[in-house]
């Protein structure tokens, strides 16, 4: 299938009887996984206009903010790839033009769909990594099988960040209604309060999923999107090491759809849960965005490269992935969107 336009963006689609998957040419984001019967896409579409990263100019587009995150935010949609960084650049990297979560989320991809498979490829020039993603959506199924390959083009073994930044949004995400399940065990709240005083989780608290300690001494069950007017949070969760597969699932009772991602625990041992519930007042957020990021990857927290390496890991589990010199590393995962009467109906 040839290119289409999605929210004013160049994109390519892959579809069968049940689902339509949309991938942007710039940024390579899985922008939508749409249930064709209901028209519902659980993935996040920001409440601001989307633009191509190549067209972004900080002098001309101050509505997206003026920092290292702005270029990404101008074009972010749904599920974006964080490679080879999960988090923000250092001051020196930002001055050199690097963006939050690395080149992969703002780069140009070659994309082609043939039969039941969509293939996207790009080369991260600064990181010296080649990336390929194959998405297969077989006829009659509601599950997309995804294979990613990262090739280190340099002559150096390197520690890299590699995270699937899956972000869900309205109408699928709703305060006090959307439910979640995950194969999570030991958990920790990020140490710093990045919400400007609007967070409710206790910074740095360690706990067992799903009951997170709060500032007021109470506990909140993270299996339901919090029912607060304004809130923000980030916590990380070690996927059960006793299971070969890790997963998260999300369900909205009104949509009666469940979205689930399943992956190998050894590939991506961490699930970072980011909550943005009208807490950010700066551009482009403007106090209106509602999201929940279910970000599975090789690192527990979004942070600079130096902080990632200095932290080393958490709970005795490494916090980055090695990319051997002149070698390829491959991972596989799957995304399912299906009608369901409850979040547990998928039987994960």
Q: What is the pLDDT of residues 238-247, one digit of tens each?
A: 999 999 999 9
pLDDT of residue 185: 98
* Residue 84: cis peptide before it, omega within 30 degrees of 0: yes
Q: Is the CB of residue 12 less than 8 Å from the CB of residue 23?
A: yes
The arithmetic mean of pLDDT across residues 179-206, rounded, is 95
Share of the chain above pLDDT 90, in %: 97
Average pLDDT of the chain, as a whole number: 97
Residue 280 has pLDDT above 80, yes or no: yes
Which residues lie closer than 8 Å to 39 by C-beta, 6 or more apart?
none
Q: Is the CB of residue 11 less than 8 Å from the CB of residue 64?
A: no
Which residues lie closer than 8 Å to 249 by C-beta, 6 or more apart?
180, 181, 182, 258, 259, 260, 343, 346, 348
Among 215, 217, 170, which residue's Cα sits nearest to residue 197? 215
Per-residue pLDDT reduced to its tens digit, 34-83: 999 999 999 999 999 999 999 999 999 999 999 999 999 999 999 999 99
pLDDT of residue 78: 98
Q: Indicate the range of 117-121, 166-170, 300-304, 342-346 predicted with least confidence.
A: 342-346
What whole-number distance in Å separates Cα of residue 330 and Cα of residue 276? Answer: 31
The arithmetic mean of pLDDT across residues 24-31, rounded, is 98
Q: Is the CB of residue 245 less than 8 Å from the CB of residue 294?
A: no
pLDDT of residue 186: 98
The arithmetic mean of pLDDT across residues 219-235, rounded, is 97
Residue 219 has pLDDT above 70, yes or no: yes
Q: Is the CB of residue 141 less than 8 Å from the CB of residue 18?
A: yes
State the pLDDT confidence band at 109, using cuts at 50, 70 and 90.
very high
State the pLDDT confidence band at 195, using cuts at 50, 70 and 90.
confident
pLDDT of residue 333: 98
The arithmetic mean of pLDDT across residues 176-195, rounded, is 95
Among 118, 113, 112, 111, which residue's Cα sits nearest to residue 144? 118
Share of the chain above pLDDT 70, in %: 100
pLDDT of residue 1: 62
What whole-number distance in Å separates Cα of residue 154 and Cα of residue 152? Answer: 6
Residue 93 has pLDDT above 80, yes or no: yes
State the pLDDT confidence band at 259, using cuts at 50, 70 and 90.
very high
Q: Is the CB of residue 41 less than 8 Å from the CB of residue 28?
A: no
Per-residue pLDDT reduced to its tens digit, 315-324: 999 999 999 9
pLDDT of residue 96: 95
pLDDT of residue 196: 83
State the pLDDT confidence band at 2, using cuts at 50, 70 and 90.
confident
CATH, range 3-346: 2.70.98.10
* Domain boundaries, given as residue ranges, for the chain: 3-346
The arithmetic mean of pLDDT across residues 285-304, rounded, is 98
């Amino acid at each position: 299938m040839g290119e289409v336009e999605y929210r004013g963006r160049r994109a390519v689609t892959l579809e069968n009887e049940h689902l339509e998957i949309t991938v942007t040419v710039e940024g390579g984001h899985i922008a939508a996984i749409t249930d064709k019967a209901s028209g519902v896409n659980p993935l996040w579409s920001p409440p601001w206009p989307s633009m191509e990263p190549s067209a972004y100019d900080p002098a001309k587009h101050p509505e997206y903010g003026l920092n290292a995150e702005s270029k990404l935010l101008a074009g972010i949609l749904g599920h974006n790839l964080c490679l080879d960084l999960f988090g923000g650049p250092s001051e020196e990297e930002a001055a050199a033009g690097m963006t939050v979560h690395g080149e992969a989320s703002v780069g140009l991809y070659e994309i082609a769909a043939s039969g039941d498979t969509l293939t996207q490829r790009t080369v991260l020039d600064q990181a010296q990594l080649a990336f390929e993603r194959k998405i297969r959506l077989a006829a009659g199924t509601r599950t997309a099988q995804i294979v990613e390959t990262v090739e280190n083009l340099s002559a150096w073994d390197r520690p890299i960040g590699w995270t699937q930044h899956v972000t869900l949004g309205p109408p699928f995400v709703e305060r006090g209604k959307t439910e979640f399940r995950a194969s999570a065990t030991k958990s920790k709240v990020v140490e710093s309060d990045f919400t400007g005083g609007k967070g409710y989780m206790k910074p740095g608290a360690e706990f067992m999923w799903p009951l997170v300690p709060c500032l007021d001494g109470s506990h909140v069950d993270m299996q339901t999107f919090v029912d607060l007017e304004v809130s923000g949070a980030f916590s990380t969760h070690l996927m059960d090491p006793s299971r070969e597969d890790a997963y998260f699932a999300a369900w909205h009772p009104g949509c009666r759809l469940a979205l689930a991602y399943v992956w190998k625990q050894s590939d991506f041992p961490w699930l970072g849960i980011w909550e943005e519930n009208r807490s950010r007042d700066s551009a482009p957020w403007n106090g209106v965005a509602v999201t929940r990021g279910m970000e599975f990857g090789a690192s527990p927290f979004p942070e600079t490269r130096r902080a990632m390496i200095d932290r080393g890991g958490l709970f005795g589990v490494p916090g980055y992935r090695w990319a051997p010199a002149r070698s390829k590393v491959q991972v596989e995962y799957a995304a399912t969107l299906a009608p369901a009467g409850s979040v547990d109906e998928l039987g994960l």
